Amino acid sequence: MPPFAGMMIVLPPSIVMSAYQTALATFTRIYRYEHLLALAGWDQAAMMPPKGNDARGAAMAELGVLIHGLLTDPALASAIEAAGSDTLNELESANLREMKRQWEQANLLPASLVEAKTLAGSHCSHEWRTQRANNDWQGFLTNFREVVRLAREEAQLLSQRSGLSPYEALMNKYEPGMTCAELDRIFSDVKQWLPGLIQQAMRKQAAESVIDAQGPFAIAAQRELGLAVMEKLGFDFNAGRLDVSHHPFCGGVPEDVRITTRYTEDDFTQSMMGIVHETGHARYEQNLPRETVHLPVGRARSMAIHESQSLSFEMQLGRSPAFLRLIQPLVQQHLGEQAAFDADNLARIYTRVRPGFIRVDADELTYPAHVIVRYEIERALIDCEIEADDIPALWDEKMHAYLGVDTRGNFQNGCLQDIHWTDGSFGYFPSYTLGAMYAAQYFAAIRAAYSDLDQRIAAGDLTPVFDWLNRHIWTQASRWDTGELIRRATGEALNPAHFRAHLEQRYLAG
């Protein structure tokens, strides 16, 4: 007879887990699986040899189904429901709110769809790398149609339960609470004043002398410059690394953040500012509260808030004359001395307004137009107003109307340039301009608190920026919903007027 057969074992009350603790245990397991999934995704983009893609895609789909199974386990539903009766403090209540939100999203989707989306996205993204280089829209379309079909299926399932439009239901995964009505109001206003501001800035800059940096710039030297700038920005190299990928990104997990950039020998400016951008993402992740980082309440609030960190670093700080004056000696140290590396000239290079094809290389003023183009196209696509085949013509029309550039036949630098659509990340693009608006609002608050901010930055003291972001954004994680987070940080709800004021000050003043 086995030991203890027929005996009832009664655990002491201190060992019996509450419903809330049971839910915590499940979400801790989910985080550990997500850790592996994130690093597998980073390796797929940065290091994996091409022939590994099919096996990697299958492995990532398997992990995705496993995570989905944990989230849809009836035992978790019972624990979350029962936890509502537990005695919880304010932070625990916020965590329960976030756990419930994740549970609700997952339970609207069947495991078969989660698996199919992962496989289709992995295959489409992998093939895109070659198809973009070959300007092969038709080849891309053969895989992309399936990605769109599955995204629409997901959107319909999420929409039916939430009452949101299909596109809003997808956008809500990245920016909870945002609606198309609010976004349309914000973007419609931007479309009213942005074209005139772009033209005014270009006329003003036409009278300025700018010296272009003369390459080639060795990739190894650009990498060392990037690492030195990351150090200035406080990146923790014991908890992350810098690599190369086809499309710059920040991945990994808070304990092990992986950022990437891409280099070209004839222009160092894009790789360096790309590194500054991704370091903003990384600092957010590295400074999330360690005691809760494995739980929903300890994770990044939303993708617009995440982009507000990268754009705080790249646009508000990185392209400021004060910061460029600070890092100018590093540029000379790693790339050599030339007239273009004068601090004032660097500032003119990094604030030059020049409408172009590529979103990630766009200047600060024209960038919102790139985002609006993508938002309008992907919304129409998910809401079944257009088909995937219609994208190039619509892209050409909007890029010409909003930026005055001709993209006809140029798929590589047109509708094939971004990786987001390849894996079905529809609804993400609005996060970029919302993030720019949040970043401008942060810096309005920081400048109100530190009247000598530019002088301190130029002297190498970046603590006013880092301390403010750490106190108001990084350590708060998902404790509050986005609106409350912003109100607590800046004293008001999202106010796009700060964004316009920032652009007018930087590009028209003086």
What residue segments make up the domains of the chain, in order of their start? 19-165, 180-508
Does residue 68 have a pLDDT over 60? yes
**pTM of structure:** 0.93
Residue-by-residue DSSP string for 250-271 = EEEETTEEEEEE--BTTBSHHH
Distance of alpha carbon 259 from alpha carbon 252, whole angstroms: 8
- What's the pLDDT at 380? 98
The encoded tokens of residue 317 equal: 């700080």
Quote the mean pLDDT of the chain: 94
At 78-126, the pLDDT tens digits run: 999 999 999 999 999 999 999 999 999 999 999 999 999 999 999 999 9
The encoded tokens of residue 210 equal: 């700018």
The encoded tokens of residue 145 equal: 């149609």
Does residue 386 have a pLDDT over 50? yes
Phi/psi region, residue 4 (left: phi>0; alpha: psi -120 to 50; beta: rest), is: left
Which amino acid belongs to residue 322?
A
Q: Which CATH number is associated with domain 180-508?
A: 1.10.1370.30
pLDDT band at 9 (very low <50, low <70, confident <90, very high): very low
Q: Of the residues 127, 154, 168, 278, which is catalytic? A: 278
Looking at 14-28, 210-224, 254-268, which range is the least confident one?
14-28
Neighbour-count burial of 324, counting CB atoms closer than 10 A to its CB (0-12 exposed, 13-18 middle, 19+ buried)? buried
Region 386-402: what's the mean pLDDT? 98
At 417-453, the pLDDT tens digits run: 999 999 999 999 999 999 999 999 999 999 999 999 9
For the question of residue 387 being annotated catalytic, the response is: no
In angstroms, how far is the first alpha carbon of the chain from the final one? Answer: 90
| Token pair 């957010």 in the structure block, residue | 284
Cα Rg, the chain, nearest whole Å: 24
| Token pair 């029962």 in the structure block, residue | 82
Does residue 165 have a pLDDT over 70? yes
The encoded tokens of residue 207 equal: 């009278």
- What's the pLDDT at 247? 81
Reference 111, options 69, 156, 173, 163; nearest CA is 69
pLDDT band at 510 (very low <50, low <70, confident <90, very high): low
At 325-360, the pLDDT tens digits run: 999 999 999 999 999 999 999 999 999 999 999 998
Percent of the residues in the chain that have a pLDDT greater than 70, as a whole number = 97
Distance of alpha carbon 299 from alpha carbon 57, whole angstroms: 25
Residue-by-residue DSSP string for 95-127 = HHHHHHHHHHHHTTS-HHHHHHHHHHHHHHHHH
Region 8-15: what's the mean pLDDT? 43
| Token pair 């994208």 in the structure block, residue | 391
The encoded tokens of residue 386 equal: 């257009």
Does residue 3 have a pLDDT over 80? no
Does residue 13 have a pLDDT over 70? no
- What's the pLDDT at 246? 84
At 262-308, the pLDDT tens digits run: 999 999 999 999 999 999 999 999 999 999 999 999 999 999 999 99
Which amino acid belongs to residue 340?
A
Name the strand (E) or helix (H) holding 469: helix 463-472
